[in-house]
Amino acid sequence: MTQRILEANTPQGLTDNEILPVLDELLAGHASRLGRAPVKCLLLPPDMTRMHSYAGNITGMLYTSLKKIHAACQVDILPALGTHEAMSEQEIRAFFGAEIPLECFKVHNWRTDVVKLGQVPAEYVREISEGLVDEAIDVEVNRRLLDPSYDLILSIGQVVPHEVVGMANYSKNIFVGCGGSSMINRTHMLGAFYGMERIMGRDGTPVRKVFDYAEQHFIPNLPLDYVLTVTTQAEGIIRVHGLYAGRSRSLFEQAVALSQQKNLTFLDRPMQKVVVYLDEREFKSTWLGNKSVYRTRMAIADGGELIVLAPGVRKFGEDDINDRLIRKYGYVGRKKVLELVKENEDLKGNLSVAAHLIHGSSDDRFRITYCPGGLTREETEGAAFGYMPLSEALSLYDPNKLKDGWNTLADGTEIFYVSNPALGLWALREKFQ
- The pLDDT of residue 1: 61
For residue 79, give the nearest of 172, 156, 194 by alpha carbon: 156
| Residue 401: other Cβ atoms inside 10 A | 10
Which DSSP category does 300 fall into? E
For residue 3, give the nearest of 36, 18, 25 by alpha carbon: 25
Q: What is the CATH number of the domain that holds 86?
A: 3.40.50.11440
Instruction: State whether 58 and 126 are in the same domain.
Output: yes
Q: How many domains does the chain have?
A: 2
- The pLDDT of residue 117: 97
Residue 181 amino acid letter: S
Q: What is the CATH number of the domain that holds 323?
A: 3.90.226.30
- The pLDDT of residue 49: 81
Instruction: State whether 109 and 35 are in the same domain.
Output: yes
- Asked whether 165 and 82 are in contact (CB, 8 A), the reply is no
Instruction: State whether 228 and 283 are in the same domain.
Output: no
Instruction: State whether 273 and 254 are in the same domain.
Output: no
| Residue 15: other Cβ atoms inside 10 A | 11
Residue 357 amino acid letter: L
How far lies 126's CA from each of 50, 164, 363, in Å? 32, 17, 26
Instruction: State whether 173 and 218 are in the same domain.
Output: yes
Instruction: State whether 300 and 225 are in the same domain.
Output: no
Query: Which of 231, 262, 293 marks a domain boundary?
Result: 262
Instruction: State whether 280 and 227 are in the same domain.
Output: no
Burial of 220 by CB count in 10 Å (0-12 exposed, 13-18 middle, 19+ buried)?
Answer: exposed
Instruction: State whether 185 and 274 are in the same domain.
Output: no
- Specify the pTM: 0.91
How far lies 374's CA from each of 311, 378, 384, in Å? 7, 12, 17
Instruction: State whether 222 and 367 are in the same domain.
Output: no
Query: Which of 236, 262, 288 marks a domain boundary?
Result: 262
Instruction: State whether 42 and 141 are in the same domain.
Output: yes
**Sign of the dihedral through C-alpha 233, 238, 243, 249:** positive
Query: Which of 262, 291, 316 marks a domain boundary?
Result: 262
- The pLDDT of residue 433: 67
Instruction: State whether 86 and 65 are in the same domain.
Output: yes
Full residue range of the structural domain in which residue 312 is found: 264-432
Which residues make Cβ contacts (< 8 Å) with residue 377, sequence separation at least 6?
A: 387, 389
DSSP-derived secondary structure for 61-111: HHHHHHHHH-TT-EEEE----TTSPPPPHHHHHHHH-SSS-GGGB----TT
Q: In which residue ranges of the chain is pLDDT below 50?
A: none
How many Cα atoms occupy the beta-carbon half-sphere of 221 within 13 Å?
A: 5
Instruction: State whether 245 and 306 are in the same domain.
Output: no
- Asked whether 241 and 231 are in contact (CB, 8 A), the reply is yes
- The pLDDT of residue 3: 84
